[in-house]
Amino acid sequence: MSRGYKPSVSDIALITRQLATLIQSSLPVEAAVMAVAEQCEKPRLKRMLMAVRSKVVEGYTLADGMSEFPHVFDNLYRAMVAAGEKSGHLDQVLNRLADYTEQRQHMRSQITQAMVYPTILVIFAIAIVSVLLGTVVPKILKTFEKSKQVLPWTTEWVMAASNFVQAYWMVSLIAIFGSVFLIKQALKRPKVRFWYDAKLLQLPGIGKISRGINTARFARTLSILSSSSVPLLEGMKISGQVLENEKIKAAVTEAATHVSEGASLRAALAQTKLFPPMMLHMIASGEKSGELEQMLERAANNQDREFESMVSVSLKLLEPAMIASMAVIVLFIVMAILQPIMAMNKAIGL
309-322 pLDDT per residue, tens: 877 787 778 778 88
Choose which CATH entry (1.20.1260.10, 1.20.81.30, 1.20.1050.40, 1.10.287.1260) describes domain 2-73. 1.20.81.30
Q: How confident is the model at residue 87 (pLDDT cuts 50, 70, 90)?
A: confident
Q: Where are the alpha helices (DSSP H) in the chain?
A: 9-24, 29-39, 43-57, 62-66, 75-87, 90-131, 137-147, 153-186, 190-202, 206-227, 232-241, 246-260, 265-270, 277-289, 292-347
Q: How confident is the model at residue 51 (pLDDT cuts 50, 70, 90)?
A: very high
- 106-121: average pLDDT: 78
Instruction: Identify the weakest region by mean pLDDT among 50-59, 244-253, 280-289, 322-331.
Output: 322-331
Can you give the pTM of this predicted structure? 0.74
Q: If pLDDT is split at 50, 70 and 90, which confidence band does 65 have?
A: very high
pLDDT digits (tens, 9 = 90+) for 7-43: 888 888 889 999 999 998 888 999 999 999 998 888 9
Please report the pLDDT score of residue 86 as a whole number: 81
For the chain, give every domain's residue range: 2-73
pLDDT band (50, 70, 90) for residue 154: confident
Mean pLDDT of the chain, nearest integer:
85
Residues 288 and 279: their CA atoms lie apart, in Å, by 14
pLDDT of residue 1: 45
Does 345 score more than 50 pLDDT?
Answer: yes
Q: What pLDDT score does 4 carry?
A: 60
Instruction: Give the integer Cα–Cα distance in Å for 107 and 304.
Output: 8
